[in-house]
Every structure is written in C-alpha cells, then in structure tokens.
Amino acid sequence: EMLLEMEGLAIAGARLTLYIKSGVVNDRDTNFRFVAQDGLSTFYWRDASFGYALSADLPREALLAVCNEVYAQLYPGSPVRAW
C-alpha cells in the first residue's frame, strides 16, 4: 500500500491507477514518456526489470509530481529523476 501525500496539488478526489509489470526487458536507462488522450493522462516508464504506467484525469504537471512521489516510494534513496 502506498500513501501519497501531495501538498499543494489539487488531486483530492482524483482517481489514479498504477500498473506494474515485472519481467520487462530494459536495455537502456530508465525510459519515460507521457501520453494524453480523451482527457486521460498517462506516464509510462521502465526501470530495472519493471514497467510502470500511471494514469489519471489530471494535468501533466500534477501527474508528473505524483510520478515523482511514486518513484521515490518505489526506490527509496534514489536521486530525484529529471523526467
């Protein structure tokens, strides 16, 4: 269970979905991309042997802040990513 406390962001009541898949081949460093379609924003990234997709009906900047928090909780002590 992950608890996301996002001070200063208007995400209260927003539904967020995080998909995680193991066994992903990652032949490069962390790959990261953003897609927006039909009002839904999604960030995709790969790290280690996992693939992630975080989706929500949020603006890119708000979802990016959530991605950074998710990453920090998944990989404690890792440097902040410059997506």
Amino acid at 17: T
Pick 4 or 59 by higher pLDDT: 59
Pick 11 or 57 by higher pLDDT: 57
Quick: pLDDT tens for 3-36. 455 555 556 677 889 999 998 776 665 678 999 9
Residues in CB range of 13: below 8 A, 6 or more apart: none
Q: Say what the pLDDT of residue 49 is.
A: 82
Amino acid at 60: R
pLDDT at 1 over 50: no
pLDDT at 65 over 50: yes
